Chains A and B, each alone.
Chain A
């Protein structure tokens, strides 16, 4: 189970293609899938400047049939003035070693990640990417076989990895927000205000000191300090299971109920919460 806990997107722009003026490209950064970016054509390239710490990309309310992400790490070096206004010059460091700038001739690192839609994906795309450690550019080349490109949400950032849900048992119950008005006939006139899934989450976590002795999983207190406390009810990209189809188990959701921890002396505990899908 994973969650993109932070947001490492610095800016977004439309590199190629044309945006529907009512649906600009920065709509992919708001938290509302129903405020999407819409292109006027079947292809568009969204360029995102990213800090380099992102470990996964998630897209929601996306109709793209294929997405190719090209990651390019920036290599520009600026030499200018220091704080005193003096020129920064090459010289020696404190140990007497000579400082030099040199062009190694290496091309910028370029990685390509590709997604091709094979089955109905429910508008959901989840792609692991490698962090670069340096600021980079992510170009999302999105195409659709018919119609216009439409992307609701793009999220990227560091990923927290949790165990699979307790006993690998998943429950979900959609909640319907419709209004019912009773007609004279006794039937109901229904104002459809949509539905969303609500998924109880119950995960075994390390809540003792230090790292999780059982594996490379996020501890409860990192989970709380780096996600629950700073973000609260802000929606995040969740992958509820790494072993099941992301089309059904990745969702854009928020804590409907704040996580609770039931801890016992061993240091392990059960974190339980309720995640509400935002769609």
Chain B
């Protein structure tokens, strides 16, 4: 398991004069994440750009950690189908290419649309001998060069931004342990998006209706990263990076790192005397929920409601207060979960706090998650939009548009082809959510990677055979049965529940009824909610993890097996509830 620095922008760029035929202009635009402002090189036929160096990424890898890999992202575009192209790309330090460094430029055409090119990866060292000292150096970075062939004069090569992410040895594993000494090492990555209203009764997932359209509201997305040591990639509005932190062995519950334009504070629901002091100024926080948009798949999303602070957390009343009064309208926040005996806290997600109410007793903020706003035009055929017409091909295209990397290793072996033409302009993330759900897949986004997973596939296991592992009253819920799944002209009619309802999907994304039986099985599946103490569940959530529960309080001792789809963190009552579809059988 590797920790990582998160994707970081460079602090310095340099057009190295005399190293090519053409110089770069507007160099500093490559330091900010914007497509509308870019560095560019105006090429003529058969000429090269100067070397363009991007470095000073402000990485803070702990000393002595083994470097596991380096990933870079280049957001680039050219002007035509043929040229210009990325000619060279190396890692550098002190203005020199690192010894033996692999060139990952390889003459890749830039294309005429913005595209985020990912080079290297979590286990790719670029054939270099890297150390934490080298990576932390302010001169460590990227050197790239573009080339224009014999096709056209006056074509631009453009670079909107570049980012680097270094993966390094994680000496701490996120280990949870119960009172009986049972423990498990966790490796979890989860992504969801903000959505309100899925939770009505405290269960992790409680679909009340068989109508997918009523459930679908997935305009925002976030990155959730659970169960490993995290380097916070969070950057304040003044562009200063928030420092990664370790927390010490003691303490528990919610740790909230909050940043304004100029200040950074550690807050919690109680004073936590850790390696950093976390001030107990949070008087309340709504449950943090990660949920799947439908019972048969979709985008795993996060909602977090409100956070309430004591008023003296603002106005400079204490040294731990934000100096601003009135309280800042927006704050950047990282939500973390900590359990005693675990040295590092677990990062749940990042978000934006938007001021909702100022009162004499509390200052209330709503929690928002950053969003993906890219759209697919009206009239687009999903069969021809990706280069390969399968579900995986579709998500590959989604990742191109959203600037993400696709991990489809847990997708179905034979993903279905798509057949649908959009009638309106739609958000990419919304369409992706519906397509995934229709094809009985779920997906989440973490650190720039979109993970696509078939609902049928397991993703690790967790055994709760010890009755000290979880709280009383797991719930086993059957929704109103579905007899027939209908999607446009396709349908699947089951035989088990002739008294059941229709489950109508307004769009048939495959154009046939090949997926409908799988949807039928999932919507009729038993839903299981298991409450557990924070100390067991913190960091346990990973989509698809197969959880086995021995329940000896039922009339007949039984074993439940479920695939985890949802989680609710209730920090005020120190309880976590996981939920998912599964089965219940007599032992």
Contacts and interface: CB of A to CB of B under 8 A. Distances in A.
Q: Shortest 3 CB-CB distances between A and B: which pairs? A: A185-B467, A184-B467, A34-B271
Contacts, number: 60
B470 A184 contact: yes
Given A24-B319, A185-B467, A35 B472 contact: no
A23 B279 CA distance: 11
Interface stretch (A43-51, A112-120, A186-194): A186-194
Given A35-B271, A179-B573, A189-B471, 18 more contacts: A22-B276, A23-B277, A24-B319, A32-B271, A179-B574, A181-B574, A182-B471, A183-B467, A183-B468, A183-B471, A184-B468, A184-B470, A184-B474, A185-B466, A185-B468, A189-B468, A191-B252, A193-B270
Interface in A15-30: 22-24, 26-27, 30
A36 B433 CA distance: 49
B371 interface: no
Contacts of B535: 189
Contacts of B534: 191
Interface in A93-112: none
A22 B471 CA distance: 37
A36 B466 CA distance: 40
Contacts of A182: 471-472
Interface in A31-73: 32, 34-36
Interface in B550-581: 551-553, 573-575
B177 to A, nearest CB: 13
Given A22-B277, A182-B471, A183-B467, A30 B318 contact: yes
Contact of A184 (B252, B273, B472): B472
Interface residues of B, number: 29
Nearest to A179: B574
Interface of A: 22-24, 26-27, 30, 32, 34-36, 179, 181-187, 189, 191, 193
Interface of B: 179, 252, 270-271, 273, 275-277, 279, 318-320, 466-472, 474, 533-535, 551-553, 573-575
A34 B471 contact: no
Contacts of A186: 467, 472
B548 to A, nearest CB: 13
Given A26-B319, A35-B279, A189-B533, A183 B270 contact: no
Contacts of A185: 466-468
A191 B573 CA distance: 9
Given A182-B471, A185-B467, A187-B468, A34 B179 contact: no
Contacts of B468: 183-185, 187, 189
B273 A34 contact: yes
A123 B377 CA distance: 68
A183 to B, nearest CB: 5
B471 A181 contact: yes
A32 B319 CA distance: 13
A53 B535 CA distance: 50
Given A26-B319, A182-B472, A184-B470, A35 B277 contact: yes
Contact of B574 (A27, A35, A184, A191): A191
29 contacts: A22-B275, A22-B277, A23-B277, A24-B319, A26-B319, A27-B319, A34-B273, A35-B279, A35-B320, A36-B273, A179-B573, A181-B573, A181-B574, A182-B472, A183-B468, A183-B470, A183-B471, A183-B533, A184-B467, A184-B474, A184-B551, A184-B553, A185-B466, A186-B467, A186-B472, A187-B468, A189-B468, A189-B535, A191-B534
Contacts of A27: 319
A186 B470 CA distance: 10
A189 B179 contact: yes
A259 B151 CA distance: 92
B339 to A, nearest CB: 10
Nearest to B466: A185
Contacts of B553: 184
Question: Secondary structure at chain B's binding surface: helix, strand, loop or mixed?
Answer: loop
A10 B127 CA distance: 62
Query: Among the interface residues B474, B534, B574, which one has the most CB atoms of the partner chain A within 10 A?
Result: B574
B36 to A, nearest CB: 39
Contacts of A179: 573-574
B318 to A, nearest CB: 7
A189 B535 CA distance: 9
A173 to B, nearest CB: 22
A30 B321 CA distance: 13
A80 B179 CA distance: 71
A27 B279 CA distance: 12
A23 B272 CA distance: 12
Nearest to A34: B271
A182 to B, nearest CB: 5
A201 B256 CA distance: 39
A183 B472 contact: yes
Contacts of B552: 184
Contacts of A34: 271, 273
Contacts of B551: 184
B313 to A, nearest CB: 13
Contact of B575 (A26, A30, A181): A181
Contacts of B277: 22-23, 35
B77 to A, nearest CB: 45
Contacts of B467: 183-186
Query: Among the interface residues A32, A35, A183, which one has the most CB atoms of the partner chain B within 10 A?
Result: A183
Nearest to A191: B574
Nearest to B549: A184
B12 to A, nearest CB: 27
Contacts of A24: 319
Contacts of A35: 271, 273, 277, 279, 320
B534 to A, nearest CB: 8
A23 B320 CA distance: 10
Nearest to B550: A184
A80 to B, nearest CB: 32
A32 to B, nearest CB: 6
Contacts of B279: 35
A193 B471 CA distance: 19
A209 to B, nearest CB: 39
Nearest to A193: B270
Nearest to B470: A184
A183 B179 CA distance: 11
B340 to A, nearest CB: 8
Nearest to A36: B273
A36 B320 CA distance: 12
A32 B273 CA distance: 11
B249 to A, nearest CB: 14
Nearest to A30: B318
B229 to A, nearest CB: 19
A22 to B, nearest CB: 5
A240 B331 CA distance: 45
A222 B575 CA distance: 49
A183 B469 CA distance: 7
Nearest to B573: A179
Contacts of A193: 270
A34 B319 CA distance: 15
